[in-house]
Amino acid sequence: MRFRFDPVPHWPPNAWLARCETGADEVVVRHGNRVETTDDWFCEAAWPGPYEQGDFDRTDIVAGTGGRLRDGAVTFVSPDSTVDRLQFSRAENIVHVSNSLVCLIANLDIELDPCYPGYYADFRTITAGLDAYKRPVRTLRGDLQLCYFDNLVWDGTSLEPVGKPLPVRDLSSFEGYRTFLLATMAALVENGKSPARKAPYRTIGTLSSGYDSPTVAVVAKAAGNEEVITFANARGGADDSGEPVADKLGLRCITLERAAWRGNPFPEIPFLAANAYGEEMHFGGAAPYLPGRILFTGQYGMVWDKTVPSLGPEMARPDPGGLGLTEYRLWTGFLQCAVPYWAARELRRINAISNADEMRPWDVGGDYNRPICRRIVEEAGVPRGMFAREKRATAVVLWDRREPFLTDRSLEDYRDWLHRLSWRFLRQGRLPPLYLDRVSTARLALKRQVERLPSGIVSRLADLPGAWRVLSIKTPPLFYFLFPWAIQRAVERYHEASPAASEAR
């Protein structure tokens, strides 16, 4: 078996699609211009090991994706986290594997079900962990499949998931764990900047006023990283700037406004096309600083909590944060490296460190308490009162009515798209979303009027039969159909002649 590479200049720089056919002696890989290719492997990835050896299939720490040929079989390597993934399709004797769901859909020329409201809920199942997430993605012509963390092996006749290796590590103490983090970071950064690459990667971090990104910033600084991105405010307007911490650490801090992304044309599309949620839209404002970078984030920082709901290896988490960057990073040309996922399958051992006697000086109590983070950051010279006083979030939540919805041009396009689909809903005996949205808007207006009444009257009204239908306002109906709209628009990115594709770039 061998690879045959087909570069596609107008594709997103980090995207790739592999075509595997039963009985064929080659795997055809179409790809963007930042995908590295050799006779035996290809990748848009960095890992802790010599780049020239291409051993990203022999480690459980990989930022990005790729494929490795060994002993007549190809291993398609997934990222080391649940903030990114592979996806594939099976049709008769042909299998397609890609690091982009949009790319897969565009090249197979298939359509999602525009009337299906469950995409958001389906993608969110990854929060339940690797053993519980919903793998099929519903389309009008069979299902596509998602694959998180596990690798996929093509042996010439079938594609099967295989677990990543689990190296032996010293996680018996805080010093052992910190040494592991520092050594892994140094090796991964060295890999990314290897002169053997046609397109080396520089590094950049994220920084907030919380626990996780400052911890990652300290670890990355030890490996030579000098820049971080911070967002001035969290959701709701609270100060979340990491500038004070950056000053203490001697890092160059690039401060961005959380809403800067709204100035871009159709800015929501790549984020919504990743997971039907798109909570990382604020990273759209960081576009000038991300191409050719490894972006270090603190996603999944709950591994450093003193109390973790589940200590198993399944990587369950409370929200899908980070996953909205999956398509955007391919378009922009960077790697997402969520450092807390390193050794996450050994969460029980990491948590034992958090609760060890040696960590008591950094145990501040309360619900927001991560002794490992506090020790790493404080021992780097950041005083206790400067970070992690309370948990904040910069995520963009479109279903939260306290925030603006889509940008004006996107909303106009989305409404036109929904209007053209109204007949499909009616044919199924369902009310079109635009009609439901008018009803929901009227209910919201009525609810706001009721809330202005004296509390006693509000209580009596709430007890009336059916009052909950008026007074309980759930997620806006238009939210649930954003995903197929975004996918349809994102597919245009793969068609060179499309005006919308050119504008989205």
Q: How far apart are CA 220 and CA 230, in angstroms?
A: 15
Q: Is the pLDDT of residue 87 over 80?
A: yes
Domain ranges of the chain: 2-162, 174-386, 408-504
* pTM as predicted: 0.92
Which of 104-118, 347-361, 392-406 has the least mean pLDDT? Answer: 392-406
Q: What is the phi-psi region of residue 54: left when phi exceeds 0, alpha when psi lies from -120 to 50, beta otherwise?
A: left
Write down the pLDDT at residue 398. 81
- For the chain, give percent helix, strand, coil, nearest 5: 40, 20, 40
Q: 403 pLDDT band (50/70/90 cuts)?
A: confident
pLDDT in tens, 226-274: 999 999 887 777 778 899 999 999 999 999 998 899 999 999 999 999 9
Counting residues of the chain whose pLDDT is more than 70, the rounded percentage is 91
Write down the pLDDT at residue 157. 94
Q: Is the pLDDT of residue 473 over 60?
A: no
Taken as a whole, the chain contains a residue count of: 505
Write down the pLDDT at residue 486. 97
Give me the mean pLDDT over the 141-157 stretch. 95
For residue 150, give Cα distances in angstroms to 27, 81, 161.
Answer: 20, 10, 6
pLDDT in tens, 42-75: 999 999 999 999 999 999 999 999 999 999 999 9
Sign of the Cα pseudo-torsion (345, 377, 201, 101, in order)? positive
Which of 91-105, 323-337, 397-411 has the least mean pLDDT? Answer: 397-411
**Other CB atoms closer than 10 Å to residue 332's CB: what's the count?**
24
Q: Is the pLDDT of residue 471 over 80?
A: no
Give me the mean pLDDT over the 338-351 stretch. 97
pLDDT in tens, 268-299: 999 999 999 989 999 999 999 999 999 999 99
First and final C-alpha spacing in the chain? 36
DSSP 131-142: TT---EE-BSSS
Q: Is the pLDDT of residue 327 over 90?
A: yes
The pair phi, psi for residue 58, each rounded to 5°, is -110, 20
Q: Is the pLDDT of residue 317 over 70?
A: yes
Write down the pLDDT at residue 498. 47
Q: Is the pLDDT of residue 502 over 50?
A: no
Of the options 1.10.150, 3.40.50, 2.60.40, 3.30.460, the CATH number for the domain spanning 174-386: 3.40.50
Give me the mean pLDDT over the 102-120 stretch. 95
Q: Is the pLDDT of residue 472 over 70?
A: no
